[in-house]
């Protein structure tokens, strides 16, 4: 094992940045090491890899010191393919860069690759990508989770020190859990959505997928902020501190009965119980709580997200960008329907259909209007819960990563696997997944959630647990 | 609960072409998903306000100050079909 | 039945392009007539990942319109997405307003308003011509310069009962908006566009008939003719025992033909839902105060003020509905306020005749000279016919009215002595006329007056001529 490979395996992004700053590590060599690993990636984690390091890497005295970052292909990057896992967008090179990527670059990060994902972020397995499924580096026969599957696989494989993902109903937290990583979905509005291809605008949030909680905190510190280009962005209310918490003395952790019982895989439940016991050992007290609308939240999500998506994806019409397919008669209608028939995959079509139906005349109140009221209720559930507890803990996913193809014939089963992450998404609150053990030899994730803007609290608690759980996030790096 | 006729109507609104075999499959899949979603209609939501954004956002308006536009060649660069002046589409009247 | 047996009900939907510097949801400059696709950006091209940002000035202009039209201003206004596919609509939806518009209700000139709301304009589709054949069918070229221009949509209640009233009311709306300074309201350039919802019902019937929507009539003349044609079409249908179908129609001003647009658009289901990329716009008291502070005097208010000064109602309307004439009137009145009625008449009759289709600025009359001319006329220094001659000179080359009267020998003649010989000559030259007049038949007096005017180059006063003639004839 070369020095660089062992550094890649052993060191977090934070540690690598410190090493570059101290002169112990050469940023250009490190970039090239990650770049060549990404270029040789066999998990299909990347949809684009840089040909070479940029002529001038950001200087060592920038906060992120030129460290590479892998970026989910949902983010617009000027002049660099941005295809969102869709055949319709194959070859699209935007004329502008998303705020999230621009902020990371301004802080000294250097993008070395774009990562595979479920098409337009719709999926929980990364199997819905026009560029082929991505594999889990812990077991290539299994899915890496989704929709930010490529980002998680890239970091788990050591093909990126960290990655940028997006989370609408769990798309950062679930793949992070399935790949043994840390994944943070910030409070809605903390990170600008400008330039991030929209799936469900009222739910989409960008966030980090990293090896450590400290890395997640570091990336978030350079991602968040109110953006004049996104009216729905508010930023966070305080700077993100370097997480240093060791004790959980005095902390009350709520364990929702609705998300920790039935349907949770035995090995996942066991790992979750171990994590709770560790938390208690650190001084936390546990309290069973109720989120009465958690199950309804799942249904509401599968109305709201497809409804917004059906409208957000109307712009993919073959006129201004992307691939066009014309019909034999050369009609406008034919161009629209052929372009969208050939360009979208089955899951995207299903959600467009579902969302269009839910918004169509006569159904709006029954579906969209009702779902928005359920959102009010689930947000209220959390407000009530946080009167009694400081953070909430659940398994991130009821199961570990499943085998490729195992659930792809049953969309509903796939949807139900998001039950633990969706309530937080609907409530707009931050959630983090940290690895807490294994089941069937695959990583299990512990999800922690805090009230809106409670990122520092969340990161602190996660940091304390991460120390005591001691999971090797580099375990799949070869 | 959603039949082939409704599927075709929704597909038309969505500008999606479905092949004959896809219509039935879509009807089956959507019905199964909608069957699950239906449970929210059983909740008592009287007097509950709908929520669009849960986090309070006091979004400011943009000042009426011009910003640079894209050069035309950049604007047209990603178009599947364009001439020097604009994006070419089949005529809606055709 | 005939057309007279039906009541006509018309509601108008007017789209007004707001005169902001930038578009509704992006920083591209608004433009007209520039090279195509030179005012675009990721937002107005609907590029993936772009987000809308509402223009504060457009909201401000919308508030000014709402306040001027007596609308209720919503404390919180929501943008909705209106979903449909068309090449001029880059996102596949138009950001518009639905159930929480910026301005609710209102009234102008006796017509109630339903609402005023903000939205974004569509792009422009141009025919590609001979070069753009796509597999045998025609092609269009999309120009996104106009796409995203802020629009205010004004919707009236169905309070209008004739084509003439529709056109007249639209003129009032146009001048009101122009006075507000929030739009160019130019129909030819498309900054004012009008659709009409039209229905007929037998007189006395309570419920309204089925309405049709007549789209995009782009001049006042076409609006009047289009509505008349549609009313005639509906009357013919109902008289023939048929039923009017609710549909969208297109009026061709060249042929006056009305055709259904239904074949090209299918049944609409716009799937409105609140735009999740935006949050509600909160209208603060400060914003309302700022809009109020910029409200000018509106045409109807000005009309009332002019009438109160003694100006004839017709002239008052002309002066207030053509603000440039009203401004001239007020400027002249400021130099000499003694004759508002006569000054208004001079401007709205004589000056307007000389302006014709041109502009007020075509007149070379120096500031104050029109008021002076009115004063000279009132003092009897120049006759009304002489005054018209003076105005010709003022309009063409300017100058001092008194000096022109002097120089052109237009000083009004006194009565009696000076006129008597000329009138006598006129009677002598027209014995038939003199005979008739002697019998008390005053109809041919014009011949005498005309003779005298010719002889005196218009300096005589017509009334005085009649008076002296009667004296001479012993009547």
Taking an 8 Å cut-off on Cβ atoms, the answer to whether B65 and C137 are in contact is no
Contact flag C46-A92 (C-beta cutoff 8 Å)? no
Buried b (16+ CB within 10 A) or exposed e, A191-203: bbbbbbbbbbbbb
C143 and C285: one domain?
yes
Do C56 and C134 sit in the same domain of this protein? yes
pLDDT at C134: 40
Same domain membership, residue C403 and residue C430: no
Is A318 in Cβ contact with B80 (below 8 Å)? yes
Q: Tell me, yes or no, whether C227 and C198 share the same domain.
A: yes
Query: Residue A2: is its pLDDT beyond 70?
Result: no
The rounded distance, in Å, linking the Cα atoms of B70 and B83 is 17
CB-CB under 8 Å, B39 with A299:
yes
- Per CB-CB distance under 8 Å, the chain A contacts of C272 are 359, 364
| CA dist A238 → A206, A220, A454 (Å) | 18, 12, 10
- Report residue A93's pLDDT band, with 50, 70 and 90 as the boundaries: very high
User: Looking at the complex, does the CB of residue B37 fall below 8 Å from at least one CB of chain A?
Assistant: yes
Task: Flag whether residue A356 sits within 8 Å of chain B, measured between CB atoms.
Answer: yes
Please name the residue of chain B whose CA is at the shortest distance from the CA of residue A303.
B37
Cβ neighbour number for residue A186 with a 10 Å cutoff? 29
Structural domains in chain B?
Answer: 4-41 (1.10.20.60)
pLDDT(C283) > 70: yes
Per-residue pLDDT at C129 exceeds 80: no
Residue A378 lies in a domain: no
For residue C10, the surrounding DSSP H or E stretch is strand C6-17
| Distance of alpha carbon C97 from alpha carbon A250, whole angstroms | 50
Give the single-character DSSP code of C69: T
pLDDT attached to residue B94: 65
Q: Given a cut of 60, is residue C246 above it in pLDDT? A: yes
Distance CA(A442)–CA(C32), nearest Å, equals 62
- The C-alpha of A166 sits at a distance from chain C's nearest C-alpha, in angstroms, of 13
Of the residues B12, B40, B45, B78, the best mutation for testing chain A's interface (the one with the most A CB atoms within 10 Å of its CB) is B40
b or e along C433-450 (b: 16 or more beta carbons within 10 Å of the residue's beta carbon)? bbebbeeeeeeebebbbe
Q: Known catalytic residues of A? A: 72, 147, 171
Which residues of chain A does B14 touch, with a Cβ-Cβ cutoff of 8 Å? 310, 340, 352-353, 356
The CATH number for C425's domain is 1.10.10
Answer yes or no: is A305 within a domain.
no
Residues C369, C423 within the same domain: no
3-state SS record for chain A = CCHHHHHHHHCCHHHHHHHHHHCCCCHHHHHHHHHHHHHCCCCCCEEEECCCCCCCCCCCCCCCCCCEEEEECCECECCECCCCCCCCCCCCCCCCCCHHHHHHHHCCCEEEEEECCCHHHCCCCCCCCCCCCCCECCECCECCCCCCHHHHHHHHCCCCCCEEEEECCCCCHHHHHHCCCEEEECCCCCECCCCECCCCCCCCEEEEEECCHHHHHHHHHHHECCCCCCCCCCCCCCCCCCCCCCCCCCCEEEEEHHHCCCCCCHHHHHHHHHHHHHHHHCCCEEEEECCCCHHHHHHHHHHHHHHHHHHHHHHCCCCCCCCCCCCCCCCHHHHHHHHHHHHCCHHHHHHHHHHHHHHCCCCCHHHHHHHHHHHHHHHHHHHHHHHHCCEEEEECCCCCCCECCCCCCCHHHHHHCCCCCHHHHHHCCCEEEEEEEEECCEEEEEEEECCCCCHHHHHHHHHHHHHHHCCCCCCCCC
Question: What whole-number percentage of chain C has pLDDT above 90?
Answer: 72
Nearest neighbour of B88 by CB, restricted to C27, C38, C128: C128
Asked whether the predicted pLDDT for residue A8 surpasses 90, the reply is yes
Q: How confident is the model at residue C466 (pLDDT cuts 50, 70, 90)?
A: confident
Substitution target from A76, A80, A314, A320 for chain B, most B beta carbons within 10 A: A320
- Asked if A357 and B10 come within 8 Å (Cβ–Cβ), the reply is yes
The verdict on C162 and C257 lying in the same domain is yes
CB-based contact C83 A359, cutoff 8 Å: yes
* Residue B39 to residue A333, Cβ atoms within 8 A: no
- Minimal Cα–Cα distance from C167 to chain B, Å? 30
pLDDT score for C263: 47
Evaluate whether ipTM surpasses 0.90: yes
Q: Is the predicted pLDDT of residue C135 greater than 50, yes or no? A: no
B22 pLDDT above the threshold of 60: yes
| Confidence (pLDDT) at C435 | 87
List of chain C residues whose C-beta atoms are within 8 Å of the C-beta of residue B76: 37
Please give the residue that has the higher pLDDT: either A301 or C456: A301
Torsion sign, CA atoms C53, C57, C60, C62? negative
Rounded to 5 degrees, φ, ψ at C334 are: -70, -25
Domain that holds residue C353: 299-407
CB contact under 8 A, B88 and C57: no
Residue A232 maps to a domain: yes
Q: Could you tell me whether strands C111-120 and C103-104 are parallel, antiparallel, or unpaired per DSSP bridges?
A: antiparallel
Predicted pLDDT at C186: 93
- State pLDDT tens for residues C57-90: 999 999 999 999 999 999 999 999 999 999 999 9
The count of domains in chain A is 1
What is the residue range of A166's domain? 3-240
**Residue from the list C42, C49, C134 with its beta carbon closest to the beta carbon of A196:** C49
* Inter-chain touch A373–B13, beta carbons under 8 Å: no
pLDDT mean across residues, chain A:
97
pLDDT at C132 > cutoff 50: no
Across the interface, do A321 and B78 touch by the CB < 8 Å criterion? yes
Chain B neighbors of C21, CB-CB under 8 A:
64-66
Interface contact A359-C273, CB threshold 8 A = yes
d(CA B88, CA A374): 44
Which residue carries 């120390």 as its tokens?
Answer: A467
Within 8 A of C59 by CB-CB distance, chain B residues are 61
Predicted confidence at residue B30, as pLDDT, reads 95
The token pair at C472 is 């001479």
Question: Is a pLDDT exceeding 80 seen at residue C413?
Answer: no
Residue C404 to residues A72, A124, C336, C398, C410, Cα–Cα distance (Å): 83, 91, 19, 10, 8
State whether residue C268 sits within 8 Å of chain A by CB.
Answer: no
Least confident of A50-54, A119-123, C205-209, C470-474: C470-474
Chain B contact present for A341, CB below 8 A:
yes
When divided into structural domains, chain C yields a total of 3
Determine which helix (DSSP H) or strand (DSSP E) holds C125, and give its type and residue range. Answer: strand C124-127
The residue in chain C having the minimum alpha-carbon distance to the alpha carbon of residue A94 is C47
What is d(CA C205, CA C190) in angstroms, rounded to the nearest whole number? 37
Contact A64, A45 (CB under 8 A): no
CB contact under 8 A, C53 and B90: no
Contact B61 C266 (CB under 8 A): no
Average pLDDT over residues A215-242: 97
Nearest-Cα residue of chain C relative to residue A228: C53
Residue with tokens 């003076």: C390
Instruction: Note whether A185 and A173 are within 8 A (CB).
Output: yes
Asked if the model's pLDDT at residue C266 lies above 80, the reply is: no
* Residue A88 is assigned to a structural domain of this protein: yes
pLDDT in tens, A123-146: 999 999 999 999 999 999 999 999
Q: Report the candidate in A397, A20, A310, A443 with the shortest Cα–Cα distance to residue B11.
A: A310
Q: C125 to chain B: nearest residue by CA?
A: B91
C365 and C436 share one domain: no
Check residue C121 and report its DSSP letter.
-
Q: With contacts defined as CB-CB under 8 Å, which chain B residues touch A427? A: 54
Judge contact between C45 and C149, C-beta under 8 A: no
Sign of torsion, CA B38 B39 B40 B45? Answer: positive
Q: Which residues of C touch A361 (CB under 8 A)?
A: 269, 271
C167/C279 same-domain check = yes
* Stronger pLDDT, C470 or A428, i.e. the higher one: A428
Q: How far apart are CA A45 and CA A132, in angstroms?
A: 10
Beta-carbon contacts of C380 under 8 Å, excluding residues fewer than 6 positions away, are C412, C461
Is residue A198 pLDDT above 50, yes or no?
yes
Residues C68 and C88 in one domain: yes
Tell me if chain A has a CB within 8 Å of the CB of C92: yes
Is some CB atom of chain A closer than 8 A to the CB atom of B69? no
Within a domain: A122: yes
Nearest CA in chain A to B78: A321
Answer whether B93 sits within 8 Å of C264, measured CB to CB.
yes
Q: Which of C463, C277, C447, C333 is nearest to A309 (CA)?
A: C277
Residues B57-75 have pLDDT tens digits of 877 899 999 999 999 999 9
- Is residue B31 less than 8 Å (CB to CB) from chain A? no
CA distance A76 to A95: 8
pLDDT, mean of residues C147-174: 96
Alpha-carbon distance B15 to nearest alpha carbon in chain C (angstroms): 8
Confidence of residue A184 (pLDDT cuts 50, 70, 90): very high
What predicted TM-score, i.e. pTM, was given to this entire model? 0.92
B18 touches chain A (CB under 8 A): yes
DSSP one-letter code for B60: P
Strand B87-90 with C79-83, pairing: unpaired
Whole-number Å distance between alpha carbons of A247 and C16: 63
Residues 6+ apart with CB under 8 A from A295: A258, A419, B39
DSSP run (H or E) holding C115: strand C111-120
Same domain, yes or no: C170 and C258: yes
Please count the residue pairs, one from chain A and one from chain B, whose beta carbons lie less than 8 angstroms apart: 170
Q: Chains with 3 or more CB pairs closer than 8 angstroms to C?
A: A, B
Tell me which of B14, B39, B41, B56 to substitute to probe the interface with A (most A C-beta atoms closer than 10 Å): B14
pLDDT reading at C46 higher than 70: yes
Q: List the single residue in B61, B86, B93 with the smallest CB-CB distance to C36.
A: B86
Does residue A386 lie within any of the structural domains?
A: no
8 Å CB contact of B40 and A452: no
User: Across the interface, which of B2, B79, B94 has its CB nearest the CB of A331?
Assistant: B94
Which of C249, C273, C292 is the C-terminal boundary of a domain? C292
* Residue of C19, C279, C282 to mutate, interface with B, max B Cβ within 10 Å: C279
Tokens 């633990």 sit on residue = A420
CATH code for position A64: 3.90.1300.10
Tokens of A210: 């990293």
Say yes or no: C211 and C62 in one domain: yes
Say what the pLDDT of residue B54 is.
Answer: 86
Residues on chain A touching B41 (C-beta within 8 angstroms)? 366, 370
For residue C127, list chain B residues with Cβ-Cβ distance below 8 A: 91
């Amino acid at each position: 094992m070369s020095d660089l490979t062992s550094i890649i395996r052993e060191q977090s992004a934070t540690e690598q940045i410190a090493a570059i700053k101290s002169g112990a590590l050469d940023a250009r060599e490190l970039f090239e090491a990650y770049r060549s690993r990404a270029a040789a990636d066999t998990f299909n984690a990347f949809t684009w890899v840089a040909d070479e390091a940029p002529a001038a890497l950001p200087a060592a005295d920038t906060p992120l010191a030129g460290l590479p970052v892998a970026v989910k292909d949902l983010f617009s990057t000027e002049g660099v393919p941005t295809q969102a896992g869709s055949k319709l967008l194959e070859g699209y090179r935007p004329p502008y860069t998303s705020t999230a990527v621009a902020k990371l670059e301004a802080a000294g990060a250097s993008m070395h690759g774009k990562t595979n994902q479920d098409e337009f972020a719709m999926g929980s397995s990364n199997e819905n990508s026009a560029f082929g499924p991505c594999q889990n580096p812990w077991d290539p026969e299994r899915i890496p989770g989704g929709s930010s599957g490529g980002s998680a696989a890239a970091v788990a494989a050591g093909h990126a020190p960290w990655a940028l993902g997006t989370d609408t109903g769990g798309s950062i937290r679930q793949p992070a859990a399935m790949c043994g990583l840390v994944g943070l979905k910030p409070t809605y509005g903390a990170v600008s959505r400008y330039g991030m291809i929209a799936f469900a605008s009222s739910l989409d949030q960008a966030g980090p997928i990293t090896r450590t909680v400290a890395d997640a905190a570091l990336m978030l510190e350079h991602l968040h902020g109110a953006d004049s280009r996104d009216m729905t962005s508010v930023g966070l209310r305080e700077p993100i501190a370097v997480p240093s918490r060791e004790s959980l003395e005095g902390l009350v952790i709520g364990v929702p009965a609705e998300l920790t019982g039935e349907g949770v895989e035995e090995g996942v439940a066991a790992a979750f119980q171990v994590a709770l016991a560790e938390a208690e050992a650190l001084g936390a007290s546990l309290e069973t709580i109720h989120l009465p609308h958690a199950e309804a939240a799942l249904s509401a999500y599968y109305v709201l997200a497809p409804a917004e998506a059906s409208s957000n994806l109307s712009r993919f019409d073959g006129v201004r960008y992307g691939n066009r397919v014309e019909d034999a008669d050369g009609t406008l209608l034919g161009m629209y329907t052929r372009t969208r028939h050939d360009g979208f995959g089955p899951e995207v079509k299903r959600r467009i259909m579902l969302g269009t139906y839910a918004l169509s005349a006569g159904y709006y109140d029954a579906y969209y209007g009702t779902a928005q009221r359920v959102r009010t209720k689930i947000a209220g559930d959390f407000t009530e819960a946080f009167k009694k507890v400081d953070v909430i803990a659940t398994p991130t996913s009821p199961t570990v990563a499943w085998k490729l193809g195992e659930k792809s014939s049953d969309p509903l089963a796939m949807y139900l696997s998001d039950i633990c992450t969706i309530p937080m998404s609907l409530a707009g609150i931050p959630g983090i997944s940290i690895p807490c053990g294994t089941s069937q030899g695959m990583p299990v994730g512990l999800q922690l959630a805090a009230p809106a803007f409670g990122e520092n609290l969340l990161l602190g608690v996660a940091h304390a647990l991460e120390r005591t759980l001691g999971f090797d996030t580099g375990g799949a790096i070869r | 609960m959603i039949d082939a006729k409704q599927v075709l109507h929704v597909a038309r609104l969505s500008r999606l072409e479905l092949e004959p075999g896809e219509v039935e499959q879509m009807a089956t899949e959507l019905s199964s998903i909608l069957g699950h979603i239906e449970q929210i209609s059983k909740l008592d939501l009287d007097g509950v306000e709908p929520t669009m954004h849960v986090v309070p956002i006091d979004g400011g308006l943009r000042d009426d100050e011009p910003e640079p536009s894209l050069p035309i060649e950049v604007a047209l660069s990603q178009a599947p079909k364009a001439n020097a002046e604009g994006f070419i589409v089949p005529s809606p009247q055709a | 039945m005939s057309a007279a047996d039906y009541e006509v009900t018309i509601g108008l939907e007017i789209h007004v392009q707001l005169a902001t510097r930038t578009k509704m949801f992006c920083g591209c400059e608004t433009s007209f007539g520039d090279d195509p696709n030179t005012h675009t950006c990721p937002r107005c091209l609907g590029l993936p990942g772009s987000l809308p940002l509402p223009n504060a000035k457009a909201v401000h202009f919308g508030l000014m319109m709402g306040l001027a039209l007596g609308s209720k201003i919503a404390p919180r206004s929501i943008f909705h997405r209106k979903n449909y596919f068309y090449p001029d609509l880059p996102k596949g939806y138009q950001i518009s307003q639905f159930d929480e518009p910026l301005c609710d209700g209102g009234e102008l000139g006796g017509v109630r308003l339903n609402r005023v709301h903000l939205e974004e304009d569509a792009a422009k589709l141009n025919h590609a011509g001979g070069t753009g054949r796509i597999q045998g069918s025609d092609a269009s070229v999309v120009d996104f310069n106009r796409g995203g221009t802020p629009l205010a949509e004004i919707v009236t209640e169905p309070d209008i009962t004739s084509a003439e009233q529709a056109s007249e009311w639209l003129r009032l709306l146009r001048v009101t908006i122009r006075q507000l300074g929030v739009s160019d309201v130019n129909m030819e350039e498309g900054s004012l566009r009008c659709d009409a919802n039209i229905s007929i019902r037998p007189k006395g019937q309570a419920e309204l008939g089925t309405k049709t929507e007549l789209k995009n009539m782009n001049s006042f003349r076409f609006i009047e003719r289009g509505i008349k044609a549609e009313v005639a079409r509906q009357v013919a249908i109902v008289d023939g025992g048929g039923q009017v179908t609710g549909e969208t129609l297109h009026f061709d001003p060249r042929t006056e033909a009305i055709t259904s647009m239904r074949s090209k658009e299918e049944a609409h289901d716009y799937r409105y839902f609140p735009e999740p990329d935006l949050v509600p716009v909160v209208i603060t008291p400060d914003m309302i105060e700022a809009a109020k502070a910029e409200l000018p005097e509106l045409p109807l208010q000005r009309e009332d003020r002019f009438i109160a000064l003694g100006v004839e109602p017709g002239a008052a309307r002309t002066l207030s509905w053509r603000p440039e004439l009203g401004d001239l009137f007020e400027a002249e009145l400021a130099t000499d306020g003694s004759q508002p009625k006569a000054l208004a008449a001079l401007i709205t009759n004589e000056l307007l005749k000389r302006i014709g289709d041109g502009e007020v600025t075509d007149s070379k009359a120096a500031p104050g000279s029109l008021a002076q001319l009115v004063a000279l006329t009132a003092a009897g220094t120049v006759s009304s016919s002489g005054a018209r001659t003076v105005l010709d000179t003022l309009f063409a080359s300017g100058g001092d009215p008194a000096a022109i009267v002097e120089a052109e020998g237009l000083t009004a003649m006194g009565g009696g002595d000076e006129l008597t010989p000329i009138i006598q000559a006129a009677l002598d030259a027209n014995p038939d006329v003199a005979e008739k007049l002697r019998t008390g038949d005053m109809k041919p007096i014009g011949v005498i007056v005309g003779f005298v005017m010719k002889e005196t180059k218009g300096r005589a006063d017509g009334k005085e001529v009649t008076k002296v003639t009667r004296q001479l004839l012993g009547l």
